[in-house]
Amino acid sequence: MILIVDDNPDNIYSLQKLLESKNFKVDTAHSGEEALKKILKYNYALIILDVQMPDMDGFEVAENIAGFSKTKETPIIFLSAVNTDKRFITKGYDSGGLDYVTKPVDPDILMLKVKTFYRLYEQTQALKDIQQTLEMEVERRKQAQLELRSKVDYLHTLLESLPQIAFTCDHLGNIGFVNGRWFQFSDSENTFPQTHPDDRSIMTELQESLESGKPLEMEVRVKKREESGYSYQLLRVWPILENGENNWVGTFTDIDAQKKAEKEKDEFLSIASHELKTPLTSIKAYMQLLDRKLSLDKNCAEAKYVGRVQDQVGKLNSLITDLLDLSKIDNGKLRINKKVFSLERMVQNAIDSIVQTHDQSNMELYRQGDISGLMVYGDEIRLEQVLVNFLTNAYKYAAGTEKVIVDCTVMTDVVKVSVIDFGIGIPENKLSEVFDKFYRVEETSFDFQGLGIGLYICSEIIRSHQGTIAVESAAGKGATFYFTLPLNLPTDAE
């Protein structure tokens, strides 16, 4: 907007019309005082100022304008009579935006000057805006950098206080920060501790994680600087988003004592189950001999006692067999003898043995799906063990219900064998753990006997057949345990 200041209304009128005809917005003031009030209140792109005014003349107005920081750069065009003293005009006014038009005003000259000043004003305004944006951006960045610095300092203090070895690295695996404990294992802050030659390389594993963006968790043996032996550490490396980039924080946690205890426990279980197996096999054999020798009447009390002893010996035997299998798995010695066999025969054998050992149960066993003639490739005895395990669990955890179903479904590439029961079921949040070693669902573990290793052994057996094993269940809704086996038979199989 342009402000016209003149005490003569006729002059204001003609000038206002001229400017408005060129699409400029115009405001007016009839005295120096009025002009100053308006100038303080509004922003003007240009002021056209009459010099000869009563009370406060144009020069005084200009001097005042120059004194306000808000307005000191607003350009002014004086409308003055000829012979004005220029010294007076420039006094206290340091802006370049000053010009003169002598009266009577030549409209063309005035318009030229107005346009020039107006453009100048617009350009200055645009520059100011840019400058302001830039200043704000610089300030924002400074602030962000300060915040980042303090976050990094905080993280480093935190890592320093940990009882573990801790470090950070960038997305390429370059180590950034290491805490004091790092130097117990490595003499340089740029290299990872030396790992056992038989273990996977930290760098290779880390690179894979960095590329996939997934956290790394691995057990690895590393060497202390002054010692010759290696100790087990759990290495965990997690991505953190810092400054829009993925950086990583890693820790080595000492799990050596835990590993040693685990090894001793495995050795104990292995020795104990071996030692128990031998006398148990003798007891079993002598019980059978005794049974035959006595040839008791089936209904007499003695025959029932012998039968119960045999049942209990059978349970003890399967517990010890599970423990032995467990130590074989731990030592990588679980042998799988694969052959082509009839799946129907295997399923029927498993059902027969389960029905025989559960002759007191009122549960009916139903079959679904026809697999007669279907041949599969695997270890028949081990796969029967899996199915027997599923069925034993169904009879155990669905005791008191009416039926259990064995379903065999042939699919495109696999055959699926399921055991469906209608018992206590498993809460959904526990489903992923039932195949873990020694896992038992807490809520029900006191009501049923067991070691929590049967399903772990099953999953290892199925894994070595390249099959899948899973469970679908919900608390109180029964459970469906199933495994699948690939259907392709090897060309050279017997």
What does the binding site for ligand ADP look like in residue numbers (CB under 6 A)?
389, 393-394, 397, 421, 423-426, 434, 439-441, 444-445, 450-456, 479
Cα separation, 101 vs 111, in Å, equals 11
In the bound state with ligand ADP, the residue whose beta carbon lies nearer, of 131 and 445, is 445
Q: How many residues in total does the chain contain?
A: 494
The CB-of-395 to ligand ADP minimum distance in angstroms stands at 9
**Cβ closer to ligand ADP: 29 or 457?**
457
CB of 267 to ligand ADP, least distance (A): 22
| Alpha carbon of residue 353 to chain centroid | 47
Of 195 and 459, the one with the shorter C-beta distance to ligand ADP is 459
CB of 419 to ligand ADP, least distance (A): 8
Nearest residue to ligand ADP, by Cβ distance, number only? 450
In angstroms, give the least distance from the CB of 313 to ligand ADP: 18
- Considering the complex, state which of residue 371 and residue 441 has its C-beta at the smaller distance from ligand ADP: 441
Nearer to ligand ADP, 76 or 441 (CB): 441
Q: What is the pairing mode between strands 98-102 and 76-80?
A: parallel
In terms of CB distance, is 359 or 438 closer to ligand ADP?
438
State the nearest-atom distance from the C-beta of 435 to ligand ADP, in Å.
8
What is the C-alpha to C-alpha distance for residues 413 and 399, in angstroms, rounded to an integer? 34
Nearer to ligand ADP, 222 or 394 (CB): 394
CA distance 383 to 458: 8
CA distance 406 to 223: 53
Reduce the DSSP state of residue 79 to 3 states and report it.
strand
CB of 183 to ligand ADP, least distance (A): 45
Its sign, for the CA torsion 77, 79, 82, 86, is negative
Nearest distance, CB of residue 444 and ligand ADP, angstroms: 5
Closest alpha carbon to 28 in 45, 40, 41, 13: 13
Strands of 363-473 (E only): list them: 364-368, 375-378, 403-410, 414-421, 468-473
Strands in 139-286 per DSSP E: 165-169, 175-178, 216-223, 230-242, 245-254
Cβ atoms of 425 and 475 within 8 Å: the answer is yes
Spell out the residues 6+ positions from residue 104 whose beta carbon is closer than 8 angstroms to its own: none
Nearer to ligand ADP, 12 or 453 (CB): 453
Task: Work out how close the CB of 175 gets to ligand ADP at its nearest, in angstroms, rounded to a whole number.
Answer: 43
Which parts of 157-296 are beta strand (E)? Answer: 165-169, 175-178, 216-223, 230-242, 245-254
